[in-house]
Amino acid sequence: MPRRWTTIVAILLVEAFVLVLRAMWELRLRQGGYDIAVAGDVSYLVVPPLLALMLAPALRQQRALLARLFDPRGVACAAATGFAVGVLSRLAWWCAVVVLGAVGGPGTTAAAEFAMSWGCPAPAPLLLALLVWTCLIPLVEETLGRGLIQSLLLHHGRRFAIAGSAVAFAVYHPPQAMLTALLMGLVLAALRANSGSLWPPLVAHAAYDGLSIVDWRCLHVQWQPGTGGSAWLRLAAPALLALVVLGVAIVSLVAGVRPGPHKAARADVGSQGVGHPFDDV
125/202 Cα distance (integer angstroms): 23
Return the DSSP state at 149: I
What is the structure's pLDDT at 267? Answer: 40
Are 149 and 103 in contact by the 8 Å Cβ rule? The answer is no
CA distance 80 to 66: 21
pLDDT tens for the chain, 281 residues long, are: 678 899 999 999 999 999 999 999 999 999 999 999 999 999 999 999 999 999 999 999 999 999 999 998 878 888 899 999 999 999 999 999 888 877 665 444 444 455 667 888 889 999 999 999 999 999 999 999 999 999 999 999 999 999 999 999 999 999 989 999 999 999 999 999 999 999 999 999 999 999 999 988 888 776 554 544 565 667 788 889 999 999 999 999 999 998 865 554 344 333 333 333 333 33
Which pLDDT score is estimated for 79? 87
**What local confidence, expressed as pLDDT, does residue 125 receive?**
93
| Per-residue pLDDT at 210 | 96
Question: Residues near 70 by Cβ (< 8 Å), separated by ≥ 6?
Answer: 197, 198, 199
Q: What is the 3-state secondary structure (H, E, C) of 80-143?
A: HHHHHHHHHHHHHHHHHHHHHHHHCCCCCCCCEEEEEEECCCCHHHHHHHHHHHHHHHHHHHHH
Angstrom distance (rounded) from CA 246 to CA 249: 5
